[in-house]
Structure formats: C-alpha cells, structure tokens
C-alpha cells in the first residue's frame, strides 16, 4: 500500500461513482466493508469503504478526510462486497444506493452494529402506593405499570411496549413524572436460536421426493436446481431435509420467500422440524428487531435465515445453501429505486460463493424453464401430490350461457352450497379489491376518474370512498354524478361486493374477506390465516394475497370469479402470469384427504388459453408460450431493459428519452433493437407524465455495454434534472 492510501467510498447519492477520501487521522486504517462518516457537501454522510486506490482525479491537497470510522470490523466480507458491486453493475444503479439497500435502516443511519437500547423499568413502589386508585384515575398508566412490574428488573424496550400497549408513551410520561418509572441503557439483546424442545419427526418421503432429494444431495457446490412440483407435491418437505443436511455441516441457509403472508406458516414448519428459530428479515419488523436478526446472520449466530427480497444482500459468513421459494412470484423483483430481482441475485450469489441454490415452484417462470432446457439448471420434477391427496379437478363455467347474479353464477352457487353442506371450506378468488372497479352515472354515462392518473376510481363501500389504486388518491363517495347531478351506480365486482353477495346468499356461513384492505392493521393477517387454517371460516374471499403457498386443510372448493382479466393483456407475459395465478389458487383446493374442485367463471370458454390449460395444465401452457416467445423474440430468447421517465410536463418526460434514442441511433448496433420512446401504457400517474424506451437484444453484453454508456450520458444531461428516470434491467412489467 502506498504511503497515502486513498479510500474509495460508496455514498448514498444517485451518482454512478465512488468518492475518494483520505483516511481519518486516528488509527486504525479503515478497510473494505467498514462504514465511515464522511463530509459530503454541507453535511456528513455514512459511506462504505469499497477499497483503496493509489491515485485520484482530485489533487491530493483537495481531497477531504473521513471524519470517523464507524465499525470495529467489516460488516461485509469480500464475497458480500462482490454481490453489491455486481448488483450495481448489472442493474446499472449507483453503488451508494445499492449499499443503502443492503444495510438495515439503523446501520444506514450510522448507528452502531451493537446499538444501546433504552429499557424501561418500574421504580420501587412506596408502601403507601394505592394501585386501585391509580387504576381508577389513570387506567392506561396502571396497565403500563403492571406490565413493567411483571417484567421486573429486566425491563421492556420500546418495541416490546409498542407491541403490548401501542399508546404507552403518554402513560409513560405520567408514570415518569410520578417517579414510578425509569429507564436505563443496555446492549441490544443477542439473537437466541432458542431450541424448540418438541420437534416433529421427518416425514417418510415418497418416491419422487426421494429422487429429488438424491439429486439435490449430489453436490454441495454451485448448481441451480428448479424444484418443479405441482401444488401440494411436498416441495417444502424436500427443502426441509436438504436444509438439515446443510445445517449438520455447520453451515447457514438462506430462504427467500415472497412478500406476503407466507412467513408464519413456513416459519412454524421450519422451527417445528428443525428445532431452531430462524432469524427473520422482512418489512414488518421493527428496526431494532431487524438489526438483531441481520447481526445474527452476519456473525453466523443464526443458522437459518428466512427473509423477503432484500434479505438476499444479508452478509452470512458460513452460507451453504440458498432456497428461493415460489420462484415465479413477482415480489422478488423490486419495482422502484434499485430494480433488482432477488431470485436472479440469489443465483449469481450462489455461483460466486460456489454453493447450491434451489428454486421452487409449481408454476416456474419461462426464464428458469428455458435454463433447464439448455441444461444450465437442473430440472427436478415432483409430478404428483404428496401423501394421499389427489389433484383438484378443474371445470369452466360459461358466464355468457349461464345466469350470473352479482358476480356469482348459478353452478358456482350450487357448488358452494354442496361444499358447505359437506363441511368443506370454500375459497372465492377475485383479484380486485374494493366494492366495484367503476362508478358510472346512470344518466350521462360519466365515469369517475382520478384527477392525477389516467385511471378509474374504485368504489370502496366499507369506507365510503372512491380510491385510486395507482396513486392512492381518495375522496368521499357521493350518490350524485359530478357532471350532471344524477344518480351514479357502481359497475362490476370487487371483493367487498362479493362479500355482500355471499353473505346474502349464505347467511349462516362464516365469511372472511382477505385482501390488503381487510388486513391493514397489525395481526389482522395472522388472525385471518388462523381462522382459515383451523377451518373456522366457511368461505374465504380473497385476492392474489390468498392464492399463494397457503395450506388450508379443510378447503375443498375454489371458485375463480372474473378469470378473464389477463386474457387480453398487452404485456407479453400476461398469459404466463394468468396461468400462474389460476394454477396457484387452484392448488389450494383438496390438499388433504378430501378431493378438491375448482370452478372457473369465464366469458370465453373457447379461448385457446383455457383449452390448453384444461387439456395440458401449466406444462402445456408454458411449452406453448416458450415456442411463441422464441418466434416473436421475447424473453427468455432476448434480453430487455426499459428506461422510464416521468415528469410534470409531457415534453420533459420525452426529452431525456429522445436524447438517449439519438445516442443509440448514432451508435447503431446490429445486435440492439430500440423501441420508442412512447408514452407508458398509463401515460399519466400521480400527476406525472410517463414515457419509456425499450431496449432489446439477443446479446447480453451488447445490452450492458450500451446501458453503461447511456447511464452516464443521462446522468450528466441537464434534461435529467426535470425528470424522474430509471433503468430497469430484465423488467417484469412493461409499464
Ligand atoms: P408444497 O410445498 O409442494 O406445496 P408441502 O410440502 O406443503 O407441498 O406438502 C403438502 C402436504 O403434503 C403437507 O400437508 C405435507 O405435510 C404433506 N406431505 C408432504 N410430503 C409428504 C410425505 N412424504 N408423506 C406424507 N405427507 C406429506
Ligand atoms: Zn390516481
């Protein structure tokens, strides 16, 4: 190292570069993977040391010095830094923002890896203390005091109190003023892997599961394995036994799960079987809890880490296996800011660290299936349901030829009646929340639209509101038309309306609506899932949220209402998506001994999509779709990048993309196809006009070379100042 080492530091700003600094004056010298505090503009910022260099474009005299070293030891190893750098390069995203995405909030803020936590305790009560009087005068304070007395000298931290008594702070002030409560600082609790005493025994794997496990056991080195098993085929059982192998070797396992709801059931199963508590990393946790879990993963204290998307960046010192459960789920792709795919990064990370990665799904994406065809990934099939369960039967209901009342056709109503009288549970799937998607005037035909988006407002009857599902705008629901003052009426069905219909038709049934509106407050989702799992709920009405991964033992009938939503979609992936969501929701039916039945309401029963699905299932649909994509040259046969831009003025949104387009025209490359710029399919959203430029190439390196140049050009162009713009590599949605 030279005498004057210069540190290359990633700072959380939207610029595609690292910044040069001199080390802090005090020892020791920071090393790669440690955080430092640096002067940046007029403020100080937290930065991450990425490495050293011997020279800088900035004259030595002008180089600023780091103010402070924040960590005793590197947070990220070389391997982890590789993933950060790879992410920045592959997604053409500023390195400092990638580092920020990889750090838990408190570390991003510059807090210590082992932060002090404030704990609250009850003071010693005077003999004369009259608890009854306090209960009478200030019941909240009495409640808090009781909780603190129960916790004794260990005390309770803010997270715990928030959980127990959400509004405890006010009461806390009162108690403190009376001298009845005090606080002290201590180190954050260490993560406890807490052995659960009674563990459930391994199931005896069936023949297919056994074969799958043997393939997975072949190697502890890199390999990408697609565990392609029909719903209920026992994929989770196979993961569990493979996880046990890796844990026995003393290594760590990272399991990535989709965003919503799945975690509680999976976590219960993991801890029951493996006898240890996984460290959890997801957005529902408090910052402190998240940091505790992150630290445990980083240090190797936690052997099993279960997390959503961003957990892919978690440093793990002894990582031996990554599992991506429900590989096809779109929530693995971040749709804003750093637009990464956690699934794809999992594969890249596994390859770099030379460990296996298992991708599980009943409806694998065409990208992964194509890799299997090319033999770059291993395709493992579980063709039958595990245990005694048989596959559900699918049947179409022609909604043009059969009577439909308020969204429910006669045959479906009849099937619900039958299922209920046989003590079965019913799930009605409709991927549209609210009461109705449209509010129309009966006289002039005016449709209530969002003022800030090119979209209709959804009627929400429970809250008596009209809401925009794109920008969140919301206003009171009125009975009269804005234009002519005549009576308006809701058109079409959402989950709220279906709930009303079903309550009316089945007054004795316990009906549970499960969508993002009904599960907003804390604990609501868990409670809903609990009542679904226990069989207490007779009819479940749900959106996509309910279609994923759940295991409801009593469920025998699934009804899909308004199944045609994706049939005529504009995105080349609409068909794939729709097939995935139908198969996934159908897969909730008949997972135990009673057979499952799936009824699908469609106005187009003759459509090729339905015919293929009924005859050949997901396999046939995906085979056909791959053949089509090969001819039309869409992914996975080509690669895409989408450059998006949004601005208050239509012309501003287009100007930056025009500049990009001109550059591409002047540097024409045969391997690159450029489409646009055009207005986005929803041209105005949240008050901004949106435009996009699509880059397509069959050659990955061409695409990335071009994107790298474009990023720098756009970043430095004055036209960029008026716009929000982004590069989306491997976009999963083309708008
Ligand atoms: P998937 O993850 O493929 O949807 P699961 O692993 O959840 O499937 O298994 C579905 C059901 O079958 C669960 O109730 C599970 O306990 C049961 N099961 C899985 N494997 C076996 C087996 N080998 N023998 C008996 N039951 C099994
Ligand atoms: Zn809107």
731 lines ligand 1 (CB under 6 A): no
Domain end, chosen from 611, 629, 647, is at 629
**Is the pLDDT at 622 greater than 90, yes or no?**
yes
Cα separation, 629 vs 633, in Å, equals 5
47 lines ligand 1 (CB under 6 A): no
Same domain, 338 and 278: yes
Q: Is residue 517 part of a domain?
A: yes
203 lines ligand 1 (CB under 6 A): yes
236 alpha carbon – ligand 1 mean position (Å): 7
Same domain, 714 and 650: yes
**Ligand 1: which of 325, 387, 618 to mutate, most ligand atoms within 8 Å of CB?**
387
Among 181-195, 241-255, 421-435, 477-491, the minimum mean pLDDT is found in 181-195
Over the stretch 689-701, which tens digit does the pLDDT of each residue have?
Answer: 999 999 999 999 9
pLDDT band of residue 548 (cuts 50, 70, 90) is confident
231 alpha carbon – ligand 1 mean position (Å): 9
| DSSP-assigned states of every residue in 182-251 | EEEEEEPPPP-----SS-PPPPPP-HHHHHHHHHHHT-SS-EEEEEEE-TTS-HHHHHHHHHHHHHHTT-
**pLDDT at position 125:** 83
**Pick from 681, 728, 677: which is nearest to 703 by CA?**
728
**More confident of the two residues 452 and 115:** 452
329 lines ligand 1 (CB under 6 A): no
Q: What percent of the chain has pLDDT over 90?
A: 70
Q: Please compute the mean of the pLDDT values over residues 580-595 and round it to a whole number.
A: 89
**pLDDT at position 179:** 87
pLDDT band of residue 27 (cuts 50, 70, 90) is confident
Task: Return the bridge partners of 405, or none.
Answer: 408
Q: Please compute the mean of the pLDDT values over residues 552-579 and round it to a whole number.
A: 89
Among 99-108, 294-303, 430-439, 588-597, the minimum mean pLDDT is found in 588-597
Instruction: Indicate which atom in ligand 1 lies nearest the CA of residue 587.
Output: 4
Cα separation, 47 vs 64, in Å, equals 13
CATH number for 274: 3.40.50.300
Same domain, 383 and 399: no
CA atoms within 13 A on the CB side of 206: 14
Same domain, 650 and 614: no
Q: Whose CA is nearest to atom 5 of ligand 1?
A: 234
Q: Is residue 405 part of a domain?
A: yes
Q: Please compute the mean of the pLDDT values over residues 365-380 and round it to a whole number.
A: 97
Among 85-94, 196-205, 466-475, 579-588, the minimum mean pLDDT is found in 196-205
Count of beta carbons in the 10 Å neighbourhood of residue 226: 23
Over the stretch 164-173, which tens digit does the pLDDT of each residue have?
Answer: 888 888 999 9
Over the stretch 62-117, which tens digit does the pLDDT of each residue have?
Answer: 899 999 999 999 999 999 999 999 999 999 999 999 999 999 999 999 999 987 77
**Is the pLDDT at 261 greater than 60, yes or no?**
no
**pLDDT at position 197:** 64
Q: Is residue 720 part of a domain?
A: yes
**pLDDT at position 250:** 95
Tell me the pLDDT of the chain averaged across its residues: 92
| 490 three-class SS | strand
Q: Whose CA is nearest to atom 25 of ligand 1?
A: 387
| C-alpha torsion sign, points 260, 265, 267, 270 | negative
**pLDDT at position 644:** 96
Q: Is residue 196 part of a domain?
A: no
Q: Please compute the mean of the pLDDT values over residues 704-730 and round it to a whole number.
A: 93
Domain end, chosen from 607, 629, 651, is at 629
Q: Is residue 634 part of a domain?
A: no
Over the stretch 501-521, which tens digit does the pLDDT of each residue have?
Answer: 999 999 999 999 998 888 888
387 alpha carbon – ligand 1 mean position (Å): 7
Q: What percent of the chain has pLDDT over 70?
A: 98
Task: Return the bridge partners of 169, or none.
Answer: none
Cα separation, 168 vs 191, in Å, equals 25
**Domain residues for 373?**
207-387
| C-alpha torsion sign, points 80, 84, 85, 86 | positive
Cα separation, 383 vs 231, in Å, equals 9
**pLDDT at position 130:** 85
Q: What is the DSSP letter of 499?
A: H
CATH number for 62: 3.40.1440.60
476 alpha carbon – ligand 2 mean position (Å): 14
209 lines ligand 1 (CB under 6 A): yes
Q: Is residue 195 part of a domain?
A: no
386 lines ligand 1 (CB under 6 A): yes
Same domain, 666 and 533: no
Same domain, 282 and 262: yes
**pLDDT at position 562:** 85
Cα separation, 259 vs 284, in Å, equals 10
pLDDT band of residue 43 (cuts 50, 70, 90) is very high
**pLDDT at position 735:** 67
**pLDDT at position 156:** 87
Cα separation, 209 vs 606, in Å, equals 37
**pLDDT at position 195:** 67
Q: Please compute the mean of the pLDDT values over residues 333-351 and round it to a whole number.
A: 97
237 lines ligand 1 (CB under 6 A): yes
**pLDDT at position 265:** 80
Region of residue 633 (left: phi > 0; alpha: psi -120 to 50; beta: else): left
Domain end, chosen from 454, 484, 514, is at 484
Contact assessment for residue 479 and residue 443, using Cβ atoms and an 8 Å cutoff:
no
**Pick from 8, 7, 71: which is nearest to 34 by CA?**
71
pLDDT band of residue 308 (cuts 50, 70, 90) is very high
Same domain, 623 and 669: no
Count of domains in the chain? Answer: 6
In this structure, the strands spanning 116-122 and 181-187 are antiparallel
327 alpha carbon – ligand 1 mean position (Å): 18
Among all ligands shown, which has an atom nearest to the Cα of 548?
1
Q: Please compute the mean of the pLDDT values over residues 600-629 and round it to a whole number.
A: 94
Q: Whose CA is nearest to atom 15 of ligand 1?
A: 234
Over the stretch 652-703, which tens digit does the pLDDT of each residue have?
Answer: 999 999 999 999 999 878 889 999 999 998 999 999 999 999 999 999 999 9
pLDDT band of residue 408 (cuts 50, 70, 90) is very high
**Pick from 307, 289, 295: which is nearest to 73 by CA?**
295
Same domain, 291 and 406: no
39 lines ligand 1 (CB under 6 A): no
Same domain, 353 and 314: yes
269 lines ligand 1 (CB under 6 A): no
429 alpha carbon – ligand 2 mean position (Å): 25
Same domain, 345 and 432: no
Same domain, 53 and 23: yes
Q: Is residue 419 part of a domain?
A: yes
CATH number for 183: 1.10.10
Q: Is residue 80 part of a domain?
A: yes
Question: Looking at beta carbons, which pairs linking 623-630 to residues 24 or more positions away fall under 8 Å?
Answer: 625/366, 625/575, 625/576, 625/579, 626/366, 626/369, 626/370, 626/373, 629/366, 629/572
553 alpha carbon – ligand 1 mean position (Å): 11
Same domain, 43 and 78: yes
Tokens of 565: 């939503």
| DSSP-assigned states of every residue in 514-573 | ESTTTT-STTHHHHHHHHHHTT--SEEEE-GGGTSS---TTEEEEEE-SGGGGTT-SSTT
């Amino acid at each position: 190292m030279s005498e004057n080492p210069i540190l290359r530091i990633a700072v959380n700003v939207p610029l595609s570069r690292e910044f040069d600094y001199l080390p802090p004056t005090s020892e020791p010298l920071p090393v790669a993977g440690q955080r430092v505090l640096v002067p940046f503009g007029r403020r100080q910022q937290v930065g991450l040391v990425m490495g050293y260099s011997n020279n800088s474009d900035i004259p030595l005299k002008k180089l600023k010095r780091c103010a402070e070293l924040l960590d005793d030891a590197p947070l990220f190893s070389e391997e982890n830094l590789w993933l950060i750098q790879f992410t920045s390069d592959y997604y053409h995203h500023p390195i400092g923002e990638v580092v920020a995405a990889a750090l838990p909030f408190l570390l991003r803020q510059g807090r210590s890896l082992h932060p002090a936590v404030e704990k609250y305790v009850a003071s010693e009560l005077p003999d004369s203390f009259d608890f009854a009087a306090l209960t009478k005068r200030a019941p909240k304070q009495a409640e808090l005091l009781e909780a603190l007395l129960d916790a004794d000298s260990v005390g309770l931290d803010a997270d715990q109190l928030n959980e127990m008594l959400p509004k405890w702070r006010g009461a806390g002030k009162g108690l403190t003023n009376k001298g009845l409560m005090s606080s002290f600082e201590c180190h954050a609790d260490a993560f406890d892997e807490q052995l659960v005493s009674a563990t459930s025994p391994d199931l005896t794997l069936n023949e297919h599961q056994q074969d799958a496990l043997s393939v997975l056991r072949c190697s502890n080195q890199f390999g990408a394995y697609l565990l392609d098993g029909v719903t209920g085929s026992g994929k989770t059982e196979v993961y569990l036994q493979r996880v046990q192998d890796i844990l026995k070797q003393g290594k760590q396992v990272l399991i990535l799960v989709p965003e919503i709801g799945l975690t509680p059931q999976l976590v219960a199963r993991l801890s029951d079987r493996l006898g240890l508590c996984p460290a959890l990393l997801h957005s529902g946790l408090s910052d402190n809890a998240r940091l505790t879990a992150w630290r445990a993963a980083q240090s190797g204290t936690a052997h099993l880490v279960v997390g959503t998307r961003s957990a892919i960046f978690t440093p793990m010192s002894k990582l031996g296996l990554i599992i991506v459960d429900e590989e096809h789920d779109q929530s693995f792709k971040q749709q804003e800011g750093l637009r990464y795919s956690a699934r794809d990064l999992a594969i890249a990370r596994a390859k770099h660290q030379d460990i296996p990665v298992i991708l599980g799904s009943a409806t694998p994406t065409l990208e992964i299936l194509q890799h299997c065809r090319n033999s770059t990934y291993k395709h493992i099939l579980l063709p039958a349901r595990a245990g005694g369960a048989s596959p559900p039967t699918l049947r179409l209901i022609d909604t043009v030829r059969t009577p439909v009342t308020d969204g429910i056709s006669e045959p479906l109503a009849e099937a619900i009646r039958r299922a209920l009288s046989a003590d079965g549970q019913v799930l009605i799937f409709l991927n549209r929340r609210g009461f109705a998607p449209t509010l129309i005037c009966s006289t002039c035909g005016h449709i209530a639209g969002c003022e800030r988006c090119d979209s209709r407002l959804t009627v929400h009857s429970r809250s008596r509101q009209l809401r925009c599902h794109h920008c969140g705008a919301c206003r009171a629901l009125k009975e009269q038309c804005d234009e002519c003052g005549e009576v308006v009426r809701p058109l079409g069905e959402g989950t709220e309306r279906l709930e009303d219909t079903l309550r009316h038709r089945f007054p004795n049934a316990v009906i549970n609506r499960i969508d993002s509106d009904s599960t907003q407050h804390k604990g609501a989702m868990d409670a809903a899932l609990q009542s679904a799992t226990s069989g207490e709920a007779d009819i479940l009405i749900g959106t996509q949220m309910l279609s994923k991964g759940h295991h409801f033992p009593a469920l025998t009938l699934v009804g899909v209402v308004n199944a045609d939503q994706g049939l005529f979609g504009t995105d080349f992936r609409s068909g794939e998506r729709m097939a995935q969501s139908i198969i996934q929701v159908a897969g909730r039916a008949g997972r135990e001994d009673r057979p499952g039945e799936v009824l699908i309401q469609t106005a187009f029963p003759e459509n090729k999509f339905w015919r293929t699905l009924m005859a050949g299932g997901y396999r046939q649909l995906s085979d056909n779709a791959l053949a089509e994509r090969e001819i039309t040259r869409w992914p996975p046969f080509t690669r895409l990048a989408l450059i998006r831009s949004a601005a208050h003025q239509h012309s501003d949104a287009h100007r930056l993309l025009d500049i990009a387009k001109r550059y591409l025209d002047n540097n024409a490359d045969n391997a690159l196809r450029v489409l646009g710029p055009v207005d986005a399919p929803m041209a105005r959203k949240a008050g901004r006009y949106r435009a996009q430029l699509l880059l397509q190439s069959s050659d990955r390196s061409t695409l990335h070379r071009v994107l790298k140049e474009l990023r720098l050009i756009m970043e430095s162009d004055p036209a960029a100042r008026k716009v929000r713009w982004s590069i989306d590599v491997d976009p999963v949605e083309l708008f």
